[in-house]
A and B are shown apart, each in its own frame.
Chain A
Amino acid sequence: DTAVSQTPKYLVTQMGNDKSIKCEQNLGHDTMYWYKQDSKKFLKIMFSYNNKELIINETVPNRFSPKSPDKAHLNLHINSLELGDSAVYFCASSQAQSVSIQYFGAGTRLSVL
């Protein structure tokens, strides 16, 4: 059973479109995260959610919006996609309120044409 699962694994789309990436964890964790890995493999935190509340929001364009229907899910919605949004997006989860081990999904490779 996959602990942190993301769908889709690959996403190819045109500039200007709106797309969503889904993430689900079955670990019973309270905190979930989205990271972006750029073409040089640099990983940077985008968002984290703790008990459905946004905890941090780094300097991410407001075209990106995390949506959490419950604590097991944290979806990433992206409006008006741009070429620079092409990257691999990773979802992760951990136990709440303290830094602990983060478990990562397999990633979603987004290509904007």
Chain B
Amino acid sequence: AQSVTQPDIHITVSEGASLELRCNYSYGATPYLFWYVQSPGQGLQLLLKYFSGDTLVQGIKGFEAEFKRSQSSFNLRKPSVHWSDAAEYFCAVGVRGGADGLTFGKGTHLIIQP
């Protein structure tokens, strides 16, 4: 079975600073990978996805992520964070070939310092 690890439960970043959120997955084949963001009291919004091809993927709100097969990682980055980026970030993995649900990591809570 697949699994996702987000090693950082909380991350605090100053506004304007760069951000990297870590995600490691476990799956026997090439996975589908996703980053979702959840603002307080809101549902989940897709930031970006990796299915195949270019390992550096661009998403909404200035986010990008890089798939590294050798490290089983899919880290999320942003060059300069804004106060509105404060939220919960979830990495997820999907399995090819079936209508299965996504397996989520436990999330990283991002705090932005002024």
Chain A positions within 8 Å of B, measured between CB atoms, are 4, 31, 33, 35, 40-45, 48, 50, 55-56, 90, 92, 94, 96-99, 101-107
Which of A40, A45, A96 contacts B101, CB < 8 Å? Answer: A45
Interface segment, B17-25, B68-76, B78-86, B89-97? B89-97
Main SS at interface, chain A? strand
Is B88 touching A105 in the complex (CB atoms < 8 A)? no
The answer on a CB contact under 8 Å between A42 and B99 is: no
* Residues of chain B contacted by A98 (CB below 8 angstroms): 96-99
**27 pairs, A vs B, C-beta closer than 8 Å:** A33-B101, A40-B106, A41-B38, A41-B106, A42-B104, A42-B106, A43-B90, A48-B100, A48-B101, A50-B99, A55-B98, A55-B99, A92-B44, A92-B101, A94-B99, A96-B99, A97-B99, A98-B99, A99-B94, A99-B95, A99-B102, A101-B46, A102-B46, A102-B101, A103-B46, A104-B36, A104-B44
B side interface size, CB within 8 A: 25
The residue in chain A whose Cβ has the minimal distance to the Cβ of B96 is A99
> How far is A15 from B45 in the complex, measured between Cα atoms in Å?
32
In Å, the complex CA distance between A21 and B68 comes to 39
With the chains together, A11 CA to B49 CA distance in Å? 32
Partner of B42, one of A45, A48, A96, A106: A106
User: Contact at A107–B43, with CB atoms within 8 Å?
Assistant: yes
Residues of B in contact with A (beta carbons under 8 Å apart): 32, 34, 36, 38, 42-46, 49, 88, 90, 94-104, 106-107
Residues of B within 8 A of A92 (CB): 44, 101
Q: Chain B's nearest CB lies how many Å from the CB of A69? A: 19
| Residue among A41, A43, A98 with most chain B CB within 10 A | A43
Chain A residues positioned under 8 Å from B49 (CB to CB): 101
Q: How many Å from the CB of A74 to the closest CB on chain B?
A: 12
